Structure 1
Amino acid sequence: MNLQEFFKENQKVALAFSGGVDSSYLLYAAMKYGADVKAYYVKALFQPQFEMDDAMRLAEQLKAPVRVLRADVLSDPVVVSNPSNRCYYCKKVIFNMIMKAAAEDGYTVLLDGTNASDDAGDRPGMKALQELQVKSPLRECGLVKSEIRRLSKEGGLFTWDKPSYACLATRIPTGCEITAEKLQKTEAAENFLFSLGFSDFRVRMMPNGAARLQVLSSQLPLLMEKREEILNELKKSYPAVLLDLEVRG
């Protein structure tokens, strides 16, 4: 099956839309192949503001209908306790919210952007999607990340080369309580590094509260150049700032 065939069979669909590479391409493809599609973006403390900004920009580019929902993910005590399968419980909260809103709008088939590169064995959240019968057409059609990026570029989507971005909760160690303060601190630290020119990096919080920086090996010279600025800014919020030598890429 290819996407054109998928949307011929599923002509009225709701899409869980993050503004990332995969869901952006899926929204584009749904519209290209004539589906009646509505996108749903869930704003929660786990998503930084730039993700919402990108999602709204992409929807505007495509002239796609989008509905923004607000979720209090920290209202679930299991999510707050941050177990190793936290993503399962978080996905249940978010996708149940989308399904309810979509049903109100007349959409009964819900899609997400999981692709064929995603390893189901390493993603507790995918179990939640299976239980809720969420369809993943990119995965069903065998589309891997590199192909989705290529097709996105051909389609003129600015998201084609956007780095993968896991939610802010992934920066907090498993078993450490997730709080609004920790999430906001993480978002502010990463926004600062973005402003210095870094890309595809992480500012992780260690159990003792220290910041652990993970950057691309190609950006280590920039890190050394901006070392004092980074230390001065991040030490306002973290007791120590450490570099992870197992760098990204």
Structure 2
Amino acid sequence: MTETPTAPQLAIDADLQAKLDRLRAIFTDMDRVLVAYSGGIDSTLVAKVALDMLGDDVLAITAVSPSLMPEDLDEAIAQAQFMGLTHELANTHEMENPNYASNPVNRCYFCKSELHDTLKPLAKERGYPYVVDGVNADDLQDYRPGVQAAKERGARSPLAEVGITKLEVRQLSQSLGLSWWDKPAQPCLSSRFPYGESITLEKLARVAAAERYLRNLGWRQVRVRSEQETARIELPPERIGEFVTSTDLDALVQAFKAAGFAYVALDLEGYRSGKLNRVLSSEQRQEYVRA
């Protein structure tokens, strides 16, 4: 991201305005707050509203690890600068935890445990009584072990508390003039691996290189799923035909092989959020769903 122009503002209806008012009230009551800020639209909206209410009493921290693409970190930094947000980086070390690197079905629990075990003492040391994240109301309906880890460590999720959905996050972001209101979701690179396949630094690097190649071709909503030695590309279903006819497939295959993959495949179903969770039993899903 080289620039962050102000977006044309969108008028919101009375119900969403009421949610925004309640969100603002939450931050007014908090006084000083540390935001777990990934640079995604959820945590960025949280940071923006907190900043509007509390000004210099807001600190945003972005966790830096091998599962974060450098480009996404650059965007997070640029967005924080655009908003005038006090922003710092903190290294996390989830890859050193075998419970994370072995990629069990609750891998995200160990990721968020590491994140909040890093942020909580930092907040206490700096005098911030609250740590908040960007979990929204829709997240509580999906399999999200990380939500439980954050809750156990005392973090709050203001968007979820107010009942703001992902669509409403985008609407509010546009209404507040944030140019990245339609930014695609970019979960960590570890989410590209099927449960049970171990995650290594080398595997993360090859996924990052493959997705970077596709982003440089202009594809915003894209995933490269890594299954052993195979890269499986996911794109919006309605654009698969365009991809096949407009892309130099030979060049793409060679680029993916140079990144470290042996095979390249295209998922004909297309991109679906949470697709890897299909293998989970209903019991596994319910363990961490907090409706």
The TM-score range, normalised by the shorter chain, is over 0.9
Q: Among residues 175, 195, 216, which one is paired with 1:195 in the alignment?
A: 216
The offset of 1:7, in angstroms, is 1.4
Q: 1:120 & 1:102 partners in 2: Cα distance?
A: 29
Equivalence map 1:1-249=2 (5 Å)? 2-34=22-54, 36-207=57-228, 209-220=229-240, 221-226=242-247, 227-236=249-258, 237-248=260-271
Listed one character per residue, the Cα deviations across residues 107-154 of structure 1 (whole Å, up to 9, x for unaligned) are: 121000001111355111111011111100011011111111111112
Deviation per residue, 1:151-204 (Å, 9 max, x gap): 111212122010111110011221111100000110010000000111211101
Write the letter of the residue equivalent to 1:242: A
1:35-72: per-residue Cα shift (whole Å, max 9, x none)?
A: 52110101001111122111111110111111100122
Aligned equivalents of 1:120 and 1:97: distance in 2?
Answer: 26
- Consecutive unaligned residues of structure 2, counting only runs of 5 or more, are 1-18, 273-291
| Secondary structure at 2:159 match in 1 | helix
- Partners of 1:28 and 1:62 within 8 A in 2: yes
State the distance in 1 between where 2:162 and 2:47 align.
15
Q: Secondary structure at the match of 2:59?
A: strand
CA distance in 1, matches of 2:230, 2:162: 43
Distance 1:26 1:159 in 2: 14
> Does the 8 Å contact 2:230/2:265 carry over to 1?
yes
> Structure 2: how far apart are the matches of 1:7 and 1:177?
40
- Structure 1 residues without counterparts, runs of 5 or longer: none
> Which amino acid is 2:254 matched to?
N
Instruction: Classify 1:238/1:63 alpha carbon distance in 2 versus 1 (closer, same or farther; 3 Å).
Output: same
2: CA distance between counterparts of 1:28 and 1:146?
A: 17
In 2, the alpha carbon distance for the partners of 1:189 and 1:234 equals 6
Amino acid corresponding to residue 232 of structure 1 in structure 2: Q
Q: How many residues align?
A: 248
Compare 83-92 and 198-207 and name the one that shifted more: 198-207
* 2:143 counterpart letter in structure 1: D
Question: Percent of aligned positions with the same letter in both sequences?
Answer: 33
